[in-house]
Copies of this chain bind each other. A is one copy, B any other.
Amino acid sequence: MAVTDEAIEKIKGMIVSGALRPGDRLPKESELAADLGLSRNSLREAVRALSLIRILDVRQGDGTYVTSLDPQLLLEALSFVVDFHRDDTVLEFLAVRRILEPAATAMAAVRISEQQLDALTAQLDKLGEAPSVEDLVACDLEFHRGIVHSSGNSVLCSLLDGLSGPTTRARIWRGLTQEDAVARTLREHRAILAALRDRDAEAARSWATVHIASVEQWLRSTL
């Protein structure tokens, strides 16, 4: 195994074992390199790799730190990976999202605060009746993000965030080519919100399912 890979494993080990805790500062490059028995250049490769997936946070002029290791932060790296998938796997991502999103929406129905409900309402109101496709999709992302956040599960939240990215392009495309897509999306958002206000988890789940299934169905018929 290459010395760099060993260094990655050793640093990972130090974090997993608790020798390094979130927020801790690592020894400076030259010292850490000496400790781990490799050159500064090779160590930097290891640090850079761990930095890409948000395990380490490198600040020039300051030092290298262990990140908070929050699920949100670590799963953020997921979206980077997801970006590489080609359109032919979008359907599979969408299928996974169709499983998670309704569940998250149902969870939110029993937990969401009045304040958040008002914020979601305001958000939909602000968008108006005939928004541009780009605005709609951006609002769509925010709307669902807000709901999922209220599910209270940060892993679920981050996962859906990562999965929603690649389907965004598809939805923009849809908005541009399918006439009633915009109006339909607006109606479904209102329905989901109404179900949340009623604290009706099953209704919320169903509307979320319908909402995503409509995108899925359209995409399947188009490809």
Q: Please give the residue numbers on chain A whose beta carbons come within 8 Å of chain B beta carbons, in ascending order.
A: 4, 8, 12, 15-16, 41, 44-46, 48-53, 55, 69, 71, 74-75, 77-78, 80-86, 89, 92-93, 95-96, 99-100, 103, 153-156, 159
Contacts and interface: CB of A to CB of B under 8 A. Distances in A.
Contacts of A82: 74
A4 B51 CA distance: 12
A51 B49 contact: yes
Nearest to A93: B155
Contacts of A103: 99
Contact of A89 (B71, B83, B100): B71
A174 to B, nearest CB: 20
Contacts of A100: 96, 99-100
Given A92-B153, A96-B100, 16 more contacts: A8-B52, A15-B84, A45-B49, A48-B48, A48-B49, A53-B81, A74-B84, A74-B85, A78-B81, A89-B154, A92-B156, A93-B155, A95-B155, A95-B156, A96-B156, A96-B159
Copies of this polypeptide in the complex = 2
Contacts of A12: 80, 83-84
Nearest to A58: B2
A92 B49 contact: no
A6 B172 CA distance: 27
A14 to B, nearest CB: 11
26 contacts: A4-B48, A8-B52, A16-B83, A41-B41, A41-B44, A45-B45, A45-B49, A46-B48, A49-B49, A53-B77, A55-B84, A69-B84, A69-B85, A74-B81, A74-B82, A77-B77, A78-B78, A89-B155, A93-B155, A95-B155, A95-B156, A96-B100, A96-B156, A96-B159, A99-B156, A159-B159
